[in-house]
Amino acid sequence: MGSPIQIKKHGISTLFNRYSAEGLLKLNTEIWFVTAFIGQVIFAAYIIKLYGGASFRGDWEAWNSFMPHGYQEGRLWSNAIVFLHIFMAGVITIGGPLQLIPALRKHFPAFHRINGRIYLGVALLTSITGILINLLNKPLGSQLNANLTAFNGVLIIVFSYFVYSRAKSSMVSSHRRWGLRLFMAASGVWFFRIGLMFWLLVNSGPVGFDPETFEGPALTILNAAQFILPLAFLEMYFRVEKSGRDLPKVFYSMLLILLTLVTATGIFGASMMLWFPYF
């Protein structure tokens, strides 16, 4: 049994390590991730409840409640692509965050491998079907916005390749980085929704776009930001993580607090205005 002095020193050391620059960065990263995970679970439950429930009842028209051109009578192949896209969107929304939980990777490696393969396959199919939906249907809003969303789909395909190739080559560190990039890009649709709801909340209504035509500069910026900003913040995180200096870690930790507040606000707005009404 250690002496009181040793115990005291150990306690001080533990406290310091917990709230050191590196510990602060880790803590705030985990808080943001948990916040985002909760939001994605709610989004996935909404997809299952609205679209899955409507499909089970045979109420195909319900697809169009918040998805333009979701169901179009007489267009079998188009409807099949949309159905596949929606189903896989629910899978990817849950499967992605599960790949990033360290405890699951450590204690359940088989699950991590199997879920990872499913996630990559679903990510590819979701991107391909999403691009096809944009090609087969008139877009909601401007063509530029549709092209930006399609480009996000291309990024998902590219990132999926690098995730797979790095895993096959046992390049663990590189595999992790590409996996995180894929998660951010694959979450683009979710980021768009919480970003839009955050914008509506802070402005007390639609500003910078027409809610009827769904066109305007605010939506164009948001369509680009749905993947550019998450990826930019992630690249910044990679550099801060490798830095041997405390100041960048502290600065990024403060930024994460702000990002968590923005994310939580967007999740709250999307839950109250988009998702919970369909439960």
In a domain, 47, yes or no: yes
In a domain, 22, yes or no: no
In a domain, 173, yes or no: yes
Query: Structural domain of residue 139, as residue ranges?
Result: 32-278
Q: What's the confidence (pLDDT) of residue 62?
A: 66
In a domain, 42, yes or no: yes
Q: What's the confidence (pLDDT) of residue 74?
A: 58
Q: What's the confidence (pLDDT) of residue 47?
A: 86
Q: What's the confidence (pLDDT) of residue 240?
A: 96
In a domain, 7, yes or no: no
Q: What's the confidence (pLDDT) of residue 138?
A: 74
Q: What's the confidence (pLDDT) of residue 12?
A: 41
In a domain, 128, yes or no: yes
For residues 177 and 252, the answer to whether their CB atoms sit within 8 Å is: no
pLDDT by residue, tens only, the chain of 279 residues: 343 333 344 444 444 454 688 999 999 999 999 999 999 999 999 888 887 776 666 666 666 666 666 666 656 666 677 777 777 788 889 999 999 999 999 999 999 999 999 999 989 988 888 888 777 777 777 889 889 999 999 999 999 999 999 999 999 999 999 999 999 999 999 999 999 999 999 999 999 999 888 899 999 999 999 999 999 999 999 999 999 899 999 999 999 999 999 999 999 999 999 999 877
Q: What's the confidence (pLDDT) of residue 236?
A: 98
Instruction: Give the residue from 95, 111, 106 showing the smallest Cα distance to 182.
Output: 95
Q: Across-strand partners of 215?
A: 210
Q: What's the confidence (pLDDT) of residue 108?
A: 95
In a domain, 40, yes or no: yes
Q: What's the confidence (pLDDT) of residue 6?
A: 37
Domain count, the chain: 1
Q: What's the confidence (pLDDT) of residue 214?
A: 87
* 29-66: pLDDT as tens digits: 999 999 999 999 999 998 888 877 766 666 666 666 66
Q: What's the confidence (pLDDT) of residue 90?
A: 83
Q: What's the confidence (pLDDT) of residue 2?
A: 42
For residues 128 and 92, the answer to whether their CB atoms sit within 8 Å is: no
Buried b (16+ CB within 10 A) or exposed e, 123-139: bbbbbbbbbbbbeebeb
In a domain, 51, yes or no: yes
Q: What's the confidence (pLDDT) of residue 250?
A: 94
